[in-house]
Amino acid sequence: DAKTTQPTSMDCAEGRAANLPCNHSTISGNEYVYWYRQIHSQGPQYIIHGLKNNETNEMASLIITEDRKSSTLILPHATLRDTAVYYCIVRVYSTGNQFYFGTGTSLTVIP
């Protein structure tokens, strides 16, 4: 699976949009981009995933560049409860492929 690069940490003001970038320049055509988050030692929580098109759900939006070499997770109105470590993972959706979590981005939402 392709490796990802994320900033170590970011801050965001409460109520503002949090934009978390991820670089995956070696991504293959059949690899999906997934985002999970982990709130202080709780189990990681699925946020969103996508292949080529932008995706949106009740938690967030995922913007994938046309060349698929990078993506951005957008939390539209960050709250204090969004403070967490966010993991960007690229993975082939097929048997035997696991989710390999990197170091992620530690997002702190500031009141």
Place of tokens 């969103």: 48
Q: Is the dihedral of CA 103, 82, 60, 42 positive or negative?
A: positive
Among 29, 40, 58, 94, binds another protein (CB under 8 A): 94
Looking at 15-23, 60-68, 74-82, 90-98, which segment touches another protein (CB under 8 A)? 90-98
CB of 110 to another protein, least distance (A): 25
Asked whether position 8 contacts another protein by CB under 8 A, the answer is no
Contact status, residue 37 vs residue 64, Cβ threshold 8 Å: no
Measured from the CB atom, the residue of 96 and 111 that comes closer to another protein is: 96
Looking at 20-28, 44-52, 61-69, 72-80, which segment touches another protein (CB under 8 A)? 44-52
Nearest to 9 by CA among 84, 68, 94: 84
Measured from the CB atom, the residue of 46 and 54 that comes closer to another protein is: 46
Beta bridge partners of 12: 109
